[in-house]
Amino acid sequence: MQQYLDIKQDYPDAFLLFRMGDFYELFYDDAVKAAQILELTLTSRNKNADNPIPMAGVPHHSVQQYIDILIDLGYKVAIAEQMEDPKKAVGVVKRDVVQIVTPGTAVDALNTGKENNFLVAIDRDQTSYALSYLDLATGEFFVTSLSDFEAVVDEISALKAREVVTGYALSSEDVQGKILETQLNVLVSQELIGFDNADLIDYSLADLEIAVASKLLNYVMTTQKRHLTHLQAVQHYEIKDFLLMDAASKKSLDLLQNARTGKKHGSLYWLLDETKTAMGTRMLRIWIDRPLVSASAIQTRQAIIQTFLDHFFERSDLTETLKGVYDIERLASRVSFGKANPKDLLQLAQTLSNVPAIKGVLTDMQAEVLNHLINQLDPMPDLHELITSAIDPDAAATITEGNIIKNGFNATLDDYRVIMRDGTTWIAELEAKERENSGINNLKIDYNKKDGYYFHVTNSNREQVPDHFFRKATLKNSERYGTEALSRLESQMLDARENSASLEYDLFLQVRDQTETFIARIQKLAKTIAEIDVLQSLAVVAENNHYIQPDIIKNGQEIHIINGRHAVVEKVMGAQEYVPNSIEFDAETMIQLITGPNMSGKSTYMRELALTVVMTQIGSFIPAEKVQLPIFDAIFTRIGAADDLISGQSTFMVEMMEANHAIRRATKNSLILFDELGRGTATYDGIALAQAIVEYIHEHVGAKTLFATHYHELVTLENSLQHLKNVHVATLEANGEVTFLHKIEPGPADKSYGIHVAKIAGLPSPLLKRAKVILSELEADTPKLQTKTVVQETPTEMQQLDLFAGSDELAEAVRNLDIMNLTPMEAMNQLYELKKLV
């Protein structure tokens, strides 16, 4: 127990799994908490003592499933192993922690096969931040610089990190720590010391980038406690090299998962995923998450997709060949971790055997644009030969029980196998020979662990026992005898059995060590196969759904989408039901102000444009008759209303923060989508803010903007803002019934049709009739609100304060606010002060 306490002292923030024989035990608070979380039986050590020690344990062969549960819940797990054979140990068996598994370093955890698990580190100086991340399962390692903590939060959200390592101390009161832990729901760890490794760290990077990458590396080395040969050299990247989208925008556009269900179904990822390999699936997610901003790189992808579309039969062969490809990117990490088993190596060999076929199919297409992929397809014949000559095709996953090395690979092992195979024949021959020579008809050779091989002779035949027999054991009715020949055979067979298993284990480790020298080439091959897989997937989707190749207008500002469709909605609904819409922005148009009723298709129209941009900049083909687009550098959205309950922010506060985020960061090359901005506050406040935001974008930002609103008062802005145009959703009204045509047409809408939407929702007829009466009274500006209203027995609730009314002091305070340069946190503080003033 003292040994346990000494080790636990070094890992206070982790569950310590303490190996004792066939079990991993937990003690004290670890045991109490783990018993509850893992549904284990809580027992105790020293039960008769005054203070028995709480204890819970799990069998060593099933420990991984328990580790997975703890990691999935955001805990750390330290694994303490027995470092010597208990039979040979003098005193207490030596134990030590061999690995600390954390949410960001888990490589064996459940459900990680088709998704990256990125561990993120952040560091800061007086003016900026640096962020580094790696995936321990694939070896990918990146670093970048960021201007502020808001950008850091966006990047952590985009990476879907579960653990963040801070290169600086965070106090319990630090706002950053609260944002990381509560809003992003990540485990925050700390590492203040860097790891000096010239092979992995590029020392020409900025000082802060070197610091954060080396601290991340040190955290990994400290937790994994081994040399990891599969980690790749750190790659610098710039946020501006990809289409910028914050977490809220990605969520509202359903890029990687459906925002409503949290599932893959109904997302762009679901639509585009026709990949055949786990590596391709992960790369597709990355491409969707980080669309390109380089026109030439996008056009290269388009050209390859078109080549695949032009070669249907070759592409079919390619698809079949990819089905035989295993996740060699993760196999490489298993080799590096020393966890690869014979089946892993056989899967690697199977993949390598498919590479020449993949290469052949691409070569047959005779397209110059494929040459860079073809040249990177490395079949590694020497590695393939090593594995196929060494590992038995029927080898089991375990490496300690033999039967994993092929016959003919090692002469000594072959000799052992001959002895084991022929030994039983030799025993039978000896038995027959001695039976004949002795005349004992029922003489036979038996075996047990205590006496080994022996001749079994009943008491009735004892007089016939030959002189060269020697007694091994006496039983009630029989005797057990041995001979020199039998002992010699027994020694050979037992030696062969023990030595062959040990030799096979050693031979397998040699093969695995040799495989480790190929890791860099395996990783490069994995990236190439993944890229081929994603591009064939996009070709299949384009062909199945009749997509067209978009044209990229370099240095242009016009948008021409003729009869475009929202790709995901169309896939869910079916092409026959979907109503296409054209989206046109000439060089002079900057903002489209969209009016029209709810449920008529405004949001779908807006998302159609955003999704078309994302798909184009991935390199994908598009559901439309014709598409011409410029390259966008960012997409900012505010679509849909939702309170942020975790951080205690109302719908309106979230709206304003996201609007501020967009306005401050957007450029003339960005795309902004605002849906009914300002509806979270009082009507006049909302109109005033909406109009001010539209005017600000028009005068100061210059981004292409779709602004959907119910405030019909805003349609007059077309008269005063040169680059704004009104569009609306067309409706058909006949015999008192309204049909939404889901078509966008020029000009403003003349009605909102809110009561009609309420009718569709099934509200009671008397309620709808009353609403029509009230509406006509309001429109006539002669409201008679006292009629047919419930008598209030309590004072009526105070209406929301008009922001523009109040004392002179309040008005002056509001007037002096520099709204456009406030951070979200400063805005909340100012709002708090204003509230106190009121």
pLDDT the model gives residue 640:
63
Question: What is the rounded (10 degree) CA torsion for 622, 624, 626, 627?
Answer: -50
Q: Is the domain of 619 the same as that of 707?
A: yes
Q: Is residue 566 part of a domain?
A: yes
The reply to whether 601 sits in an annotated binding site is: yes
Spatial distance between the Cα atoms of 287 and 116, rounded to a whole number of angstroms: 13
Strand 235-236 vs strand 452-458: parallel, antiparallel, or unpaired?
unpaired
Residue 413 confidence (pLDDT) above 80? yes
Q: Which residue has the higher pLDDT, 564 or 491?
A: 564
- Helices 295-310 and 602-618 cross at an angle (nearest 10°) of 90
Q: Which of 101, 127, 159 is the last residue of a domain?
A: 101
pLDDT the model gives residue 725:
95
Handedness of CA 656, 657, 663, 667 (dihedral sign): negative
763-787 pLDDT per residue, tens: 888 887 888 887 777 667 544 433 3
Spatial distance between the Cα atoms of 631 and 357, rounded to a whole number of angstroms: 37
* Partners of 474 in beta bridges: 479
pLDDT the model gives residue 523:
95
pLDDT the model gives residue 786:
37
Q: Is the domain of 482 the same as that of 555?
A: no
**What average pLDDT does the segment 114-120 reach?**
89
714-729 pLDDT per residue, tens: 889 999 999 999 998 8
- Grouping H, G, I as helix, E, B as strand and the rest as coil, residue 230 is coil
- Grouping H, G, I as helix, E, B as strand and the rest as coil, residue 784 is coil
Most confident range (mean pLDDT) of 400-409, 535-544, 730-739 is 535-544
In single-letter form, the type of residue at position 331 comes to L
Q: Is the domain of 587 the same as that of 687?
A: yes
Supply 45's token pair.
Answer: 């050590």
Nearest Cα residue to 629 out of 616, 620, 642? 616
Q: Is the domain of 418 the same as that of 524?
A: no
Q: Is the domain of 605 the same as that of 753?
A: yes
* Partners of 636 in beta bridges: 672
The reply to whether 828 sits in an annotated binding site is: no
Residue 789 confidence (pLDDT) above 70? no
The reply to whether 380 sits in an annotated binding site is: no
Q: Any residues with CB less than 8 A from the CB of 658 and at least 6 apart, and which?
A: 248, 636, 637, 638
Percentage of the residues of the chain whose pLDDT score is greater than 90:
52
In single-letter form, the type of residue at position 105 comes to T
Q: Which of 52, 70, 101 is the last residue of a domain?
A: 101
b/e sequence 693-716, b meaning 16+ C-beta within 10 Å = bbeebbeebbbbbbbbbbbeebbe
Supply 14's token pair.
Answer: 């982790």
Q: Where are the beta strands (DSSP E) in 185-339?
A: 187-190, 235-236, 244-245
Q: Any residues with CB less than 8 A from the CB of 273 and at least 6 apart, and which?
A: 264, 281, 284, 537
526-554 pLDDT per residue, tens: 999 999 999 999 999 999 999 999 999 98
**What average pLDDT does the segment 42-49 reach?**
81
pLDDT the model gives residue 771:
81
**Segment holding 629, helix H or strand E:** strand 626-629
Structural contact between residues 668 and 276, judged by C-beta atoms closer than 8 angstroms: no
* Partners of 548 in beta bridges: 622
* Partners of 705 in beta bridges: 591, 672
Q: Is the domain of 597 the same as that of 740?
A: yes
Q: Is the domain of 215 the same as that of 335?
A: no
Q: Is residue 77 part of a domain?
A: yes
CB atoms within 10 A of CB 7: 16
**What average pLDDT does the segment 119-123 reach?**
97
Number of domains the chain is built from = 6
Q: Which of 42, 75, 101 is the last residue of a domain?
A: 101
**Segment holding 101, helix H or strand E:** strand 95-101
Q: Is the domain of 137 the same as that of 234?
A: yes
- Grouping H, G, I as helix, E, B as strand and the rest as coil, residue 729 is strand
The reply to whether 353 sits in an annotated binding site is: no
Structural contact between residues 143 and 130, judged by C-beta atoms closer than 8 angstroms: yes
Q: Which domain holds residue 466?
A: 411-512
pLDDT the model gives residue 766:
85
Query: From the DSSP assignment, how many helices (H) and strands (E) are in the chain?
Result: 27, 27
Spatial distance between the Cα atoms of 243 and 725, rounded to a whole number of angstroms: 26
Which CATH number does the domain housing residue 46 bear? 3.40.1170.10
pLDDT the model gives residue 292:
96
Supply 464's token pair.
Answer: 């016939």
Q: Is residue 760 part of a domain?
A: yes
Spatial distance between the Cα atoms of 306 and 549, rounded to a whole number of angstroms: 8
CB atoms within 10 A of CB 783: 11
Q: Is residue 170 part of a domain?
A: yes
Name the pLDDT band for 366 (thresholds 50, 70, 90).
very high
Name the pLDDT band for 458 (thresholds 50, 70, 90).
confident
Percentage of the residues of the chain whose pLDDT score is greater than 70:
92
b/e sequence 439-459, b meaning 16+ C-beta within 10 Å = ebeebebeeeeeebbbbebee
Q: Is the domain of 53 the same as that of 152?
A: no
129-187 pLDDT per residue, tens: 999 999 999 999 999 999 999 899 989 998 999 999 999 998 777 888 888 988 889 99
pLDDT the model gives residue 306:
97
Spatial distance between the Cα atoms of 704 and 696, rounded to a whole number of angstroms: 13
**What average pLDDT does the segment 426-440 reach?**
85
pLDDT the model gives residue 738:
65
Name the pLDDT band for 190 (thresholds 50, 70, 90).
very high
Residue pointed to by tokens 């903002």: 591
Handedness of CA 533, 536, 537, 538 (dihedral sign): positive
Name the pLDDT band for 790 (thresholds 50, 70, 90).
very low
CB atoms within 10 A of CB 343: 15
Residue 794 confidence (pLDDT) above 60? no
Spatial distance between the Cα atoms of 358 and 352, rounded to a whole number of angstroms: 10
Q: Is residue 257 part of a domain?
A: no
559-564, strands of its sheet edge to edge: 551-552, 626-629, 559-564, 581-585
b/e sequence 379-401, b meaning 16+ C-beta within 10 Å = bbeebbebbbebbeeebeeebee
Structural contact between residues 457 and 478, judged by C-beta atoms closer than 8 angstroms: yes
Q: What does each C-alpha distance from 111 to 69, 108, 117, 703 come to in angstroms?
A: 11, 9, 10, 40
Q: Is the domain of 561 the same as that of 674?
A: yes
Mean pLDDT, all residues of the chain: 87
Structural contact between residues 191 and 216, judged by C-beta atoms closer than 8 angstroms: yes
Q: What does each C-alpha distance from 476 to 459, 471, 473, 615 come to in angstroms?
A: 9, 14, 10, 86
Which CATH number does the domain housing residue 233 bear? 3.30.420.110
Q: Is the domain of 636 the same as that of 686?
A: yes
pLDDT the model gives residue 113:
62
Handedness of CA 271, 274, 279, 284 (dihedral sign): negative
Handedness of CA 614, 821, 207, 186 (dihedral sign): negative
CA angle 161-166-172, nearest 5°? Answer: 105
**What average pLDDT does the segment 389-403 reach?**
83
Residue 251 confidence (pLDDT) above 80? yes
635-675 pLDDT per residue, tens: 999 876 554 444 445 677 777 888 888 888 899 999 999 98
The reply to whether 132 sits in an annotated binding site is: no
Q: Which residue has the higher pLDDT, 400 or 1?
A: 1
257-313 pLDDT per residue, tens: 888 888 899 999 999 999 999 999 999 999 999 999 999 999 999 999 999 999 999
Which CATH number does the domain housing residue 358 bear? 1.10.1420.10
DSSP 263: S
The reply to whether 600 sits in an annotated binding site is: yes
Supply 96's token pair.
Answer: 């030590």
809-827 pLDDT per residue, tens: 788 888 888 777 777 777 8
**What average pLDDT does the segment 187-192 reach?**
93
Q: What does each C-alpha distance from 71 to 60, 66, 75, 162 come to in angstroms?
A: 17, 9, 5, 10
| H-state helical runs in 311-397 | 312-322, 328-337, 342-364, 371-375, 381-390
pLDDT the model gives residue 393:
92
Q: Is the domain of 702 the same as that of 728?
A: yes
- Grouping H, G, I as helix, E, B as strand and the rest as coil, residue 455 is strand
- Grouping H, G, I as helix, E, B as strand and the rest as coil, residue 544 is helix
Q: Is residue 155 part of a domain?
A: yes
pLDDT the model gives residue 430:
83
Strand 559-564 vs strand 581-585: parallel, antiparallel, or unpaired?
antiparallel
Handedness of CA 706, 709, 711, 712 (dihedral sign): positive
Strand 704-708 vs strand 581-585: parallel, antiparallel, or unpaired?
unpaired
CB atoms within 10 A of CB 533: 25
Q: Is residue 80 part of a domain?
A: yes
Q: Any residues with CB less than 8 A from the CB of 717 and at least 6 apart, and which?
A: 593, 691, 694, 695, 724
In single-letter form, the type of residue at position 392 comes to D
**Segment holding 542, helix H or strand E:** helix 519-545
